[in-house]
Amino acid sequence: MTVPSLVFSQEAGAVPALGFGTSPLTGGLSSETVIAALKAGYRHIDTARKYGTEPAVGEAMRASGVPRQDIFLTTKVSHENLRAADFARSVDESLAALKVDYVDLLLVHWPNPAIALTETMPALAKAKRQGLARHIGVANFNIGLLDQAVDLCPEPLVALQAEYHPYLDQSKLMAAVRRHKLVFIAYCPLGRGRLFSDPVLAEIAAKRGRSIAQVALRWLMQQDVAAIPFSSQPQRIADNFNVFDFALDDDEMKRIAVLKRPDGRVANPAGRVPSGWD
């Protein structure tokens, strides 16, 4: 069985299934790290205004020699900038920091209970209509917020970015994403490192002659989910991309699905999603 390295959306067309995250857990991000990802084959790069990594990402894109149109570039507007004027300013700042004319995907980074979606969604749609973003979407929205965002946005959303890995059950959110015909983009796809001592993943990895990271990423790919792992290590960056030449069987897929645990969520800043996760 081969799984294509693309995830398809009716609205966005093909999205590269494996992207490179650019939010380092500690320290900054050098453009060399992003260049290593582009050299390894990644054509989907995930940044955000909040990460402070847009300059390094833009520099790497220019230095790599990979044509701009071959890269699916995502950035995000932070929760404190969701009022219309702040939103427009944040998008302009992102494009200036990246030194690009447009991004491929512009996301609302987190919801903000103090700012109505009736203000934010038209601001997001406006960035698309102005040609500053080819596609738009949201991140860290629960099902209720996602339903509202789809209803209120004058332009179609194409993606939801949310935490997803074997320790976190996202079946309810996934059903909503499918209902709205969006692409699910999994962040922290390696559980921010928590998966690496898991005995079931280790056993499957050993049997397949693969790393735990490859097994975890492959599990997402086989659900038609895009994923954006980060690593600061060139060898791991390349290793993580090497998931398109093997397949997990049904039994392995199920064994990994039952690893979900109630305390599996990694990213959960207080107060951002007051109506709770699904």
Ligand X SMILES: NC(=O)c1ccc[n+]([C@@H]2O[C@H](COP(=O)([O-])OP(=O)(O)OC[C@H]3O[C@@H](n4cnc5c(N)ncnc54)[C@H](OP(=O)(O)O)[C@@H]3O)[C@@H](O)[C@H]2O)c1
The CA distances from residue 136 to 18, 42, 62, 117, in Å, are: 18, 21, 24, 14
Q: Which of 164, 167, 230, 241: binder of ligand X (CB under 6 A)?
A: 230
Active site residue 51: yes
Say whether residue 78 binds ligand X (CB under 6 A): no
Alpha-carbon span 277 to 258, nearest angstrom: 19
Q: Strands 133-139 and 20-21: what pairing?
A: unpaired
Q: Which is nearer to ligand X, 16 or 21 (CB)?
A: 21
The stretch among 77-85, 145-153, 168-176, 184-192 that binds ligand X (CB under 6 A) is 184-192
Q: Which of 138, 231, 256, 259: binder of ligand X (CB under 6 A)?
A: 231
Q: Which of 121, 239, 256, 273: binder of ligand X (CB under 6 A)?
A: 239
Q: Which is nearer to ligand X, 102 or 196 (CB)?
A: 196
Least CB distance to ligand X at residue 23 (A): 4
Q: Which is nearer to ligand X, 85 or 114 (CB)?
A: 114
Say whether residue 111 binds ligand X (CB under 6 A): no
Interface with ligand X by CB under 6 A: which residues?
21-23, 25, 46, 109, 139-140, 161, 187-193, 196, 211, 213, 228-233, 236, 239-240, 267
